[in-house]
A = this chain, B = another copy of it.
Amino acid sequence: MLLVRFFPREFNFFDAFDDHVSLAVEAAVFFKDLVSKREVDEVALGKMQTIEHQADEATHIIIDQLNKTFITPFDREDIHALAKELDDIVDTVATIVNRMKVYRLTGPNKNLIEFAAVIEESVRAVASAVQGLRHVKNAKAISKCCVEINTLENVGDSMRDRVLAELFEIEKDPIVVIKWKEIYENAETILDICEDVANVVESIVVKQA
């Protein structure tokens, strides 16, 4: 057991994070395709749940190995935070999809299409940043991704303010306001989580410098 702890031959945290962040990208791409459709059907909901469960599993594998492993490629709390936040990205996409179904929202909604495009861009930058952690020499490229993620978070803030102002000004049905307010806020939250990932990634890079 002790030997396994010190020499976990078969487990590579970088590979595990590559798998994890690929699921986040898959969720973002799926979401972008979905919001251009008329509605969320059972097939789409099932597909989303599959990605969500795979991301849960990927998180669980990383945390479990972290608990069993003595020597890690970067700080334990950063591994923990990274796994948790990549999972949060997928969970929040899944929450939106779920609510679109529960609220029987029909589309396509041009604001959500815009959000989904920014989300995909940001999650792809997250993927590049996380994949870059494998080599210290990538520091500059990683930093560029993090700057992009921060910019996209600001874009998301402005978008949310604009679409909420519009929603409260134009929409007269309070039930519709409740539904879309929640969807838009969750969409913006995904960009916040991407920014949290960027912060963890930057911490890891700084510590390795």
Residues of A within 8 A of B (CB): 1, 63-64, 67-68, 77, 98, 101-104, 161, 164-165, 168-169, 174-175, 177-179, 181, 199, 203, 206-207, 209
Contact = CB atoms under 8 A, between A and B. Distances in A.
**A contacts with B: majority SS:** helix
A58 to B, nearest CB: 14
Contacts of A104: 165, 168-169
B174 A175 contact: yes
A56 to B, nearest CB: 10
A103 B169 CA distance: 8
19 contacts: A1-B209, A63-B203, A64-B206, A67-B203, A68-B206, A68-B207, A77-B77, A98-B161, A101-B161, A102-B164, A103-B165, A104-B168, A104-B169, A168-B175, A174-B174, A174-B175, A175-B177, A178-B178, A178-B181
Contacts of A207: 67-68
A64 B143 CA distance: 14
A1 to B, nearest CB: 7
A103 B167 CA distance: 10
A67 B78 CA distance: 11
Contact of A206 (B67, B164, B178, B179): B67
A77 to B, nearest CB: 8
A183 to B, nearest CB: 13
Rank and list the top 4 A-B pairs by shortest CB-CB distance, nearest first. A174-B174, A67-B206, A102-B165, A67-B207
A86 to B, nearest CB: 16
Nearest to A99: B164
Contacts of A67: 203, 206-207
A69 to B, nearest CB: 11
A82 B89 CA distance: 24
Contacts of A161: 98, 101-102
Given A63-B199, A104-B168, A168-B179, 17 more contacts: A64-B206, A67-B206, A67-B207, A68-B209, A77-B77, A98-B161, A102-B164, A103-B164, A103-B165, A103-B168, A104-B165, A168-B175, A174-B174, A174-B178, A177-B178, A178-B178, A178-B181
